[in-house]
Structure 1
Amino acid sequence: MKNILILNAHEYYSFSQGKLNGSLVEIARSTLTANGYSVQKTTMTDAYDVDTELEKHRTADAVIVQSPVNWMGMPWSFKKYMDLVYTAGTDGRLCNGDGRTRKDPARQYGSGGTMTGKKYLLSLTFNAPADAFDDPAQKFFEGKSVDDLFWPMHLNFRFFGMEPLPTFSCHDVVKNPEILNDLSRYEAHIRTHFPAIRP
């Protein structure tokens, strides 16, 4: 991997100004750059061009999605980005539709991805504490994991033929934040999964 695309999915609210997600984007960008990677970035609050975004995906070896978790999913502005950019990419730039054709009805649904060999990483910030997940005694998530909650997002990238890197998450960021620890953990996560490129 050499080329990385970072998508900052944060949507501004008066009570959530995006400082943590912005800091995590900057940690990833600076660490990756220092390790020899070429980094491009798109932020949902900026204007973007659909064809340019598709080209960024096509040239990226890995895509990092940095996002707060809003109502158990991605912010609306990133969903709009997906609807515009990813739908346009079904012309073969990201996938050839769902992979099936009338001439070959036996092909499996979701087999049309044209981004095989590429990776993606979800980096998420939660109000929910970490111990709310992976524990059947916790009633709300019923023992499910962060990746269970974001299974639809994983399926979106699988639709393109991409493979996941381990998900990173910050927890309890509103009521019991440990920001310095989160930033340190994230830098270590990036260094682990994007090791320095030797010249």
Structure 2
Amino acid sequence: MSNVLILNAHHYYPFAEGKLNATLVQAAEELLKAKGHKVRIVHVGETYDVEEELANHQWADVVFLQSPVNWMGVPWTFKKYMDDVYTAGMGGALCHGDGRNESAPKENYGAGGTLTDTKYMLSLTFNAPEEAFNNPDEYLFQGKSVDDLWFPMHMNFRFFGMQPMETFVCYDVMKNADVENDFKRFAAHIDKHF
């Protein structure tokens, strides 16, 4: 069985209290534990210890990021978590620098990750409807996928040598939510990948 680190990246706003993300975290914990996996949960908007978070990442076989999509990316509190924890991990806990060396200073940027046996999964909640993606006629995303939009986050995890698992998405959660179906799809997604 796997060690799964769940990162709840939600940041509270009066219009977005985080109930859906919290419920998805709870569901992931229950589903994973029922399958025999060990789970640790970190709420990145709360107080955390950097050394403990580095140890959590080294412990994990899978890092599971549960995040709302705020302005096409992670909430600022998760960006702060990344700046604090991931920068501290540059000395060998998560990677050995940026992967380059003196004999090839222009090659292998980002190839210094130490978490090469670790996978990661993105689980995202969007206000955007599913139909806004993968359609070149749609205004904003111009045919791009969710994973195209989240390419920078994929690269952050790849920087540490992690391998991606299939992304899960709840769409249109503020204006046209289908929570019951989302939870069914979420359970099936967890079952498929764990």
State the shift of 1:107 in Å.
4.1
1:160 is matched with 160
Structure 1 segment 1-199 matched on structure 2, within 5 A: 2-105=2-105, 107-194=107-194
Q: Return the letter of the residue paired with 1:127.
A: N
Cα RMSD after superposing both structures: 1.0
* CA deviation map 1:52-111 (0-9, x unaligned): 000000010000000000001000000000000000000111001111122443641111
Aligned length: 194
TM-score normalised to structure 1 length: 0.95
Instruction: Return the offset for 1:118.
Output: 0.9
Paired position in structure 2 for 1:197: none
Give unmatched runs, 5+ long, in structure 2: none
- The runs of at least 4 consecutive aligned structure 1 residues that moved more than 6 Å come to none
SS of the counterpart of 1:67?
strand
Q: Is the 8 A contact 2:45 2:78 kept in 1?
A: no
TM-score, structure 2 as length reference: 0.98
Work out the CA distance in 2 between the residues paired with 1:109 and 1:45.
30
For structure 1, list consecutive stretches of 5 or more residues without a partner in the other structure. Answer: 195-199
Question: How far 1:139 moved relative to its partner?
Answer: 1.8
CA distance, structure 1, for counterparts of residue 154 and residue 86 of structure 2: 14
3-state DSSP class of the match of 2:120?
A: strand
The one-letter amino acid paired with 1:169 is V
